[in-house]
Amino acid sequence: MGLFDKFEKIAASKRDLESQCPAFFNVVIQDIISSTEALIGGRKVILAGTNNYLGMPLRRECIQAACKALQEEGTGTTGSRMANGTYASHVDLERDISDFLGKSNTIVFTTGYSANLAMLSTMVGPRDFVLLDADCHASIYDGCRLGGVQVFRFKHNDLDDLEKRLKRLSNQDADVLIVVEGLYSMMGDRASLPGIAALKEEYGAYLLVDEAHSLGVLGETGRGLAQEAGVEDAVDFVVGTFSKSLGSVGGFCSSNHSELEIIRYTSRPYVFTASSSPANIAAAKAALSIIRKEPGLREKLWDNANFLYSRLKAMGFHVGPEASPIIPVRCARIQEAFAMWNALLERGVYVNMVLPPATPDGTALLRCSLSAAHTHSQVESIADAFEAQRPSA
């Protein structure tokens, strides 16, 4: 038996999909024209699948900050945070995030993925329980698996199912951590956070909210869903990433629990991973400053999101449950998704195509993500490209 024989079914499936839609597996962004436009296959396209919610990657302030850090501190730290990889800029950014979120402690990680991996593989263990929303991100599942914690999934946004599981665990001599996301990355819907926070308090559990897609997007000042829902005091741990609204690479966890600091000395993904590059840290710091000073970015983002969501829904597309910068269009068959994705690309619009098993309900999705940097004309063009593929009555 060969080492790779176990992948043959997946390889055969990939070959079949490639025969139907070869472009999907060979998307290369050849040139960046702007925050919302690029060259793909020699064609100028509108980017509508990038998670670039606030247009930060090409902001002059972010680029200048990254260049300055690059020139003064070099291309990388060549060490983990526990070794030589903690620079003054890492500590400064941790202070900025704590101040922004109103938390007393923050740890910056190399990626958002490693933030979840570090926290969930270390903070909970085999004697604890994690109750996680079934639609949570892969990094959350992987962190739990690495830590060997006992995991129980509750149905997506189902408070009754969550309470049922909390009741079953209430007589156990163990700690319970509830894990949810602010905005879910596939369907673009919010966690039912007010009800989840109430259950957390009632049953004496802990609560971790992954605000990866909601940081900078939700809340009066952009702190995320917990701020929008008015339950920040009930959230024990806020995890986030720099790779969406902040337009960089990195991740963090913030908390009012002073014990968070012990994670620095006990988490393998933190202790044994090289720290974020100075340029990434500087870019994230600059982007966070912009978010605080320019609330109009969120307003523009939501104007774009509400417009496209309403247009697609009116056309008869099966979209997500609520308006959001993440707008999925469900397709009953994979072949339908391939055909529509190709047609959109031909019309100069790039969106994400997401196939099972990555989708929550087993259907294929065309996933749009909008940006404050999109002009109204560009959002109209995205809607028009979909309209050319609208389902028949």
In whole angstroms, give the CA distance from residue 333 to residue 356: 11
Active site residue 185: yes
Catalytic one of 213, 285, 300, 374: 213
Cα 215 to Cα 54, 197, 209, 230: the distances in Å are 10, 18, 11, 15
Q: Give the tokens for residue 160.
A: 């009754």
Catalytic one of 35, 89, 139, 185: 185
End-to-end CA distance of the chain: 52
In whole angstroms, give the CA distance from residue 5 to residue 3: 6
Catalytic one of 90, 137, 156, 244: 244
The residues, ordered by sequence, that sit 6+ positions from 154 with a Cβ below 8 Å of its Cβ are 131, 132, 133, 134, 161, 162, 164, 165
Q: Give the tokens for residue 383.
A: 């809607």
Active site residue 285: no
Of 190, 217, 195, the residue nearest 305 (C-alpha) = 217
Active site residue 213: yes
Cα 219 to Cα 134, 211, 215: the distances in Å are 24, 11, 8
CA angle at residue 173 from 234 to 148, to 5 degrees? 80
The set of catalytic residues is 185, 213, 244
